[in-house]
Amino acid sequence: MDAREERLVRNEVLFRELNETIESIAHKQGADDHVFEFVCECSNVDCTLSLPLTLEVYEDTRGAPDLFLVAPGHDLPEIEDVVGEGEGFQVVRKRGAAARIAERTDPRS
């Protein structure tokens, strides 16, 4: 993995941390089927898109350290594969060195 790829993954890790904060606030407010605005966890630090997700969908994805939630089309094929999608979001799985960084920095571990 080169420095550029590492930087891209680190951006995604930051957005994941932000979503963990959003989730902990959301948990105090509503039921699992209520839709909350999470942030796109793509590698573009300037991306400001929000993702409409239920806590149920968010939890299902967050349980795996190498899975991230991004807006449709915001996947980065050089470091990840699209493994699922729903209304207004895609689930991507990190590959190789990107996956190792994602696992090492997993806020749930």
Residues in contact with Zn ion by CB under 5 A are 40, 42, 47, 49, 71, 74
CB of 103 within 8 A of CB of 93?
no
- Min dist. Cβ of residue 1 to Zn ion (A): 21
CB atoms within 10 A of CB 59: 13
Of 35 and 47, CB closest to Zn ion: 47
Of 28 and 85, CB closest to Zn ion: 85
Find the Cα–Cα–Cα–Cα dihedral 24, 63, 81, 78, rounded to 10°: 70
- Min dist. Cβ of residue 83 to Zn ion (A): 17
- Min dist. Cβ of residue 31 to Zn ion (A): 27
Of 14 and 49, CB closest to Zn ion: 49
Q: Residues for the chain: how many in total? A: 109
Q: Which of 98, 105, 106 is nearest to 8 (CA)?
A: 98
